[in-house]
Amino acid sequence: MLTIHVGLHKTGTTSLQAALRASNPGRSGSWTYLGSDHLRPSVGGGFDPRNDRSFMSVSLKHLRSGKHVILSSENFLGSIWDVYAKAPQSVEAMCDYFTPHTEMRIIVYLRPQHEWVEAAYGQLVRHGRGRSMPLSKYMHLLDVKHFCEMVLQSRYVRYSQLVNDLIDVAGSSTLIIKPYSKGLDISRSFFATAGIESGESTQFSFRENLSLTALQIEILASLRRLTKISDVERALMLFEYMKRERLTNFDGEGFSVIPDEYFVRLLEVADADWRQLMQLPQSVTERSEVKSFDEIRCDFMTTKSRTFTGDLISNPMREEWSALLALALDNPPMKSRGGISAVSLSSIARRVAGGRISRLLQILREFRLR
């Protein structure tokens, strides 16, 4: 038996993979997880058995021994940045390669579109453009309105279309479609769906690759657009330091990086689309979650729009503030073995001429009050 988890992105995949690694029973167990140590997806995403023949060989070796093999990669359906435009080709390649050797199933988690877009944009800002995206496209998508338009114009912004296209190439008996919502313990969900044991010592408490708050995303997007800062992890540590010292408010409650007009459009798409998902063949969705597609749709239709972070600060303030923050990041080392170092603001100021840190802090305080 082969079970392939294919995401989508921003549905707890990193946490699930951590749980799979921790629970992997090894040679003595009835199942095995082949993780990132074996798997090297193509740069642009998607599934291509020619990309890593050694990985394919390992997979088939375990399958021939009678093990239940688990694979997981949110890149198997293709690139998040074209909203999985090549997903049917990837799934067809999976089926062509594996079905002569084993029974298989493909598990997909879907997240309401308005939530998914905000989380995906946060990933774009946090992790940068990667190796496969041209700089011009990245800078274009950093404008959240362009990003939202790109998603809304894509074929698979409507998940029901994605699922139907995958059924056409893989068959409804191969696919398992699962609803994802905030608070879902995806590890428990996946283990139960795949029919694998977690082990007595495993606790489903893995939370990795956590999303940024809306304010953090807005700040990082400004840095990406207006400065040459690339060390985003150092920026995040500085944010955490400022939050700890109560210099600014980065909690982000009540804020969103998605403008109201796009929030409304995405919610309309989600409403119509999740009604369609409720009509999928029972064989595809029979393994229900704590919340069904209909219950999640009812929940998100009561969602209220939040304050758009892009309206919080003016462009002149954004430019000066971003430049000063970049200057601060370029000076003292912010890392230590214990996490945030004990660097004080006065020591930062000593390294930055002209008292510009004082101006930075003033701007941050103004940002908090707006």
Give per-residue pLDDT as tens, 79-92: 999 999 999 999 99
Q: Label residue 214 exposed, middle or buried (CB < 10 Å: 0-12, 13-18, 19+).
A: buried
**Which of 142, 174, 165, 180 lies closest to 270 in space, CA to CA?**
180
pLDDT tens, 26-80? 777 889 998 765 555 554 567 877 777 777 888 899 999 999 999 999 889 999 9
Q: Which range among 137-141, 153-157, 237-241, 243-247 has the greatest average pLDDT?
A: 153-157
Catalogue all structural domains in the chain, each as residue range(s) with its CATH number: 2-209+261-300 (3.40.50), 214-251+313-369 (no CATH)
> Which pLDDT value is given to residue 211?
67
Q: What is the mean pLDDT of residues 274-296?
A: 80
> Which pLDDT value is given to residue 125?
87
Contact in structure between 38 and 55 (CB atoms under 8 Å): yes
> Which pLDDT value is given to residue 209?
56
Q: Which residue has the higher pLDDT, 11 or 205?
A: 11
Q: Left (φ > 0), alpha (ψ -120 to 50) or beta: where does 99 sit? A: alpha
**Which of 190, 61, 82, 189 lies closest to 137 in space, CA to CA?**
82
**Which of 55, 152, 46 lies closest to 91 in space, CA to CA?**
46
Q: What is the mean pLDDT of residues 247-264?
A: 76
Contact in structure between 228 and 325 (CB atoms under 8 Å): no
The pLDDT of residue 169 is above 90: yes
Whole-angstrom distance, CA of residue 289 vs CA of residue 184: 9
The values of phi and psi at residue 274, to 5°, are -70, -25
Sheet of 68-72, strands arranged across: 31-34, 68-72, 2-5, 104-110, 175-179
Helix spans in 43-143 (H): 53-64, 87-98, 113-127, 135-141
Q: What is the mean pLDDT of residues 241-261?
A: 66
Q: What is the pTM of this model?
A: 0.81
